Amino acid sequence: MQIIIFDNAEQVAENAAQWVSELIRNKDKPVLGLATGSTPISLYKQLVNKHKNEGLSFNHVSSFNLDEYHNINADNAQSYRSFMKDHLFDHVDINQSNTYLPTCSNSQNPREQGVSYEKKIQELGGIDLQILGIGANGHIGFNEPTSSLASRTRIKTLTQQTLTDNSRLFNEGEEQPTMAMTMGIATIMDARYVLLMATGKNKAKAVNDMITGALSAMCPASALQMHENAVILLDKEAASDLADHQYYQWADQQHRKINETYGFYHNY
């Protein structure tokens, strides 16, 4: 794992935006894995700015979102499709027919929907860079604790903690879905690079469990310990439970020097 600790959340977003723009400027048909939640909103803002002010084009990009609520209409304000349109898709030149979310309505078989999502990812050559947040319980996507580390896209029931954490995003009278389709942990592990962003004190324990805890289905993000190219971008608060805080900062400085000498190499 490459662990990079920044002073604040804005710097985390700036760095994540550099990763995304480096990929989409250098690859013919890049495939992005996208995440929802409050953490990546500032990344999407940066990308919209880069599109408007630096000519960053998304017209050759395909994307796959990590998850989507079960049986929700795309035009429902709470759908992750709406989230992506509000924060990114409607503000850049991405071809929205190349943007995919793991949808599943009541009339569809979740198992079949999961399999076809996996097939579509394969068909487009796999995900180059998967953006991730982390739940306070260590979930990635909607892979709640006890999710199989070998799981693929499927339907999951959300835990009470996740429902409570996310209830802030629902207005009074709006129904909060309790089930979601999500990429599995093995789906995420197949991405060539994963970029996990975590900010704020309420993520400190999950971050510490992910990095220094046992590889365990009880902390799904700990699976990233087995990923060859996992990059963890943290602000100081999210990193505050890490005992080796100073080592990570020092190692990052050393790696920057190596990169300056030999160049940055990402094998997408």
**113 or 162, CB closer to ligand GLP?**
162
Q: Minimum CB separation from ligand GLP for residue 246, in Å?
A: 26
Catalytic residue among 65, 137, 143, 208: 137
Find the binder of ligand GLP among 66, 181, 183, 232 (CB under 6 A): 66
90 is catalytic: no
137 is catalytic: yes
139 is catalytic: yes
Catalytic residue among 68, 118, 128, 144: 144
Residue 35 binds ligand GLP, judged by CB under 6 A: yes
H-assigned helices in 34-152: 41-54, 80-87, 110-123
How many whole angstroms separate alpha carbon 264 and alpha carbon 53? 24
Element (DSSP H or E) covering residue 130: strand 129-132
In a 3-state reduction of DSSP, which class is residue 238?
coil
Catalytic residue among 51, 87, 139, 227: 139
Residue 142 binds ligand GLP, judged by CB under 6 A: yes
What is the residue-wise DSSP string for 162-226? HHHHHGGGS-TTPPPPSEEEE--HHHHHTSSEEEEEE-SGGGHHHHHHHHHS--BTTBGGGGGGG
Q: Amino acid identity, residue 218? A: M
Confirm if 188 and 221 have CB atoms less than 8 A apart: no
Residue 110 binds ligand GLP, judged by CB under 6 A: no
**3 or 197, CB closer to ligand GLP?**
197
Residues 157-216 that bind ligand GLP (CB under 6 A): 162, 166
How many whole angstroms separate alpha carbon 240 and alpha carbon 107? 46
Find the binder of ligand GLP among 8, 26, 38, 146 (CB under 6 A): 38
**39 or 62, CB closer to ligand GLP?**
39
Q: Amino acid identity, residue 44? A: Y
Task: Write out the residues near ligand GLP by the rule CB under 6 A.
Answer: 35-39, 66-67, 133-135, 141-142, 162, 166
Q: Which residues are catalytically annotated?
A: 67, 137, 139, 144
